[in-house]
Amino acid sequence: MRMRANLEKVFSQRDAGLRLRAIADLYLPDAVLYEPDTVVTGHEAISAAVDKLLSMLPADFTFVARGPAVGHHGIGRLHWQAGAPGGPVAVTGTDVATFQGDRIGTLHVFLDPPA
Q: What is the pLDDT of residues 56-81, one digit of tens each?
A: 999 999 999 999 999 999 999 999 99
Per-position DSSP letters for 43-96, written without gaps between them: HHHHHHHHHHHHHTS-TT-EEEESS--EEETTEEEEEEEEESTTS-EEEEEEEE
3-state secondary structure of 23: helix
Report how far residue 114's alpha carbon sits from residue 12's, in angstroms, rounded to the nearest whole number.
Answer: 21
All domains of the chain in start order, with CATH: 2-111 (3.10.450.50)
Q: What is the pLDDT of residues 26-35, one digit of tens each?
A: 999 999 999 9
pTM of the predicted model as reported, rounded to 2 decimal places: 0.94
10 Å Cβ neighbour count for 76?
A: 19
